[in-house]
Amino acid sequence: MDKPLPSQIARRLSLRQLQVFEAIARHGSFTRAAEELFLTQPTVSMQVKKLEEAVGLALFEQVGKRMYLTDVGQALRQSARGILETLARFEMEAADLKGLKTGHLRLAVVTTAKYFAPRVLGQFCRRYPGIDVSLKVTNRERLLQRMAQNEDDLYIIGHPPASAELEFEPYLPNPLVVLAPGDHPLAGQRRIAPERIAREPFIMREPGSGTRLAVEQYFARHGLAPRIRMELGSNEAIKQAVLGHLGLSILSRHTLGSLPEGGDLAVLDVVGFPLSWQWYVGYPRGKQLSVIARTFLEYLGEEGREIAGSTVAD
Ligand code: PGA
């Protein structure tokens, strides 16, 4: 027979208290937690008080106007997330056994993947109307932080870091192209040398962007440095800046949509281009994927790949 799991505290605290506490810790606010859980603020305060009595230590401390988690509060937050996540997974599995696909999918993607991820998700939601999804769009650096903190179910990123902690599968090609305004003297020229591109003013994505990483690696490989005239944190802003003759740029072809060239933008024929980057889908190694996350992974590999592929020009 299995031994009982000894937990003194299990007799004194409730799952509801943990849920309230986790919401406060996530929002950094009692009011926002109360709103999210449809509770009144006195109820929320009461639940925290009872939880603190069960733990025997304060979970929050107030410094000035801000509220912080104490050390034991931090530790409890970790445990509470783990417990609530296990329960949510169980709920989805039980629903699956009843023949229902219901539950929640949390997907986080890098900014450039926003050109195909919503379309892929849209079809998935039509197929499984009982599943609700949240999509977080952020840059590479922030996405890797979210991943380290286990904030989502699945992640889409270009060129993930080699780490034993992360599990990634290639998903889709992500070609990177050199963009210029349509009336640029290099537009229409054949086999332009990388050195020629390095002489033009260049518009670069912000530090922390995966696209920027690819561009830096490309120039470094050729022993060149781009003449950065401007840094911008958005692909759309960069396309506008290129159209405004502020410089050339290198972006994912996904940013151009399904047109071979994005309107008045020209894709330059530079030696070595398009750079063959790749989209990957992954999760922290050892993470127990929910039945919904596993369903989405399967869908991504089949229909989802076709839909994403159709959003980009050949
Ligand atoms: P970015 O990411 O949107 O942060 O540039 C693209 C990538 O990871 O390849």
Q: How far is the CA of 214 from the centre of ligand 1 (A)?
A: 9
Alpha carbon distances (Å) from 301 to 123, 130, 131, 297, 304: 14, 21, 18, 6, 6
Q: Locate 94 and state its tokens.
A: 């039980």
Q: How far is the CA of 140 from the centre of ligand 1 (A)?
A: 5
Low-confidence ranges of the chain (pLDDT < 70): 1, 258-263, 313-314
Strands (E) across the chain are located at 60-63, 66-69, 103-110, 131-138, 154-158, 166-181, 201-205, 227-232, 249-252, 265-268, 275-284
**pLDDT for res 301:** 87
**pLDDT for res 241:** 96
**How far apart are alpha carbons 298 and 219 in whole angstroms?**
37
**pLDDT for res 206:** 95
Contact (Cβ atoms closer than 8 angstroms) between residue 92 and residue 130: no
Residues with CB under 6 A from ligand 1: 110-112, 139-140, 157-159, 205, 209-211, 277
**pLDDT for res 263:** 61
Q: How far is the CA of 171 from the centre of ligand 1 (A)?
A: 14
| Residue in the block written with tokens 């939601």 | 125
Which atom of ligand 1 is closest in space to residue 143's alpha carbon? 4
Which atom of ligand 1 is closest in space to residue 211's alpha carbon? 5
**pLDDT for res 212:** 96
Contact (Cβ atoms closer than 8 angstroms) between residue 167 and residue 282: yes
Cα of first residue to Cα of last residue in the chain, in angstroms, is 61
Alpha carbon distances (Å) from 149 to 51, 82, 153, 178, 284: 24, 12, 11, 35, 9
> 3-state class of 160 per DSSP?
coil
Q: How far is the CA of 21 from the centre of ligand 1 (A)?
A: 34
**pLDDT for res 306:** 82
Q: Whose CA is nearest to atom 2 of ligand 1?
A: 210
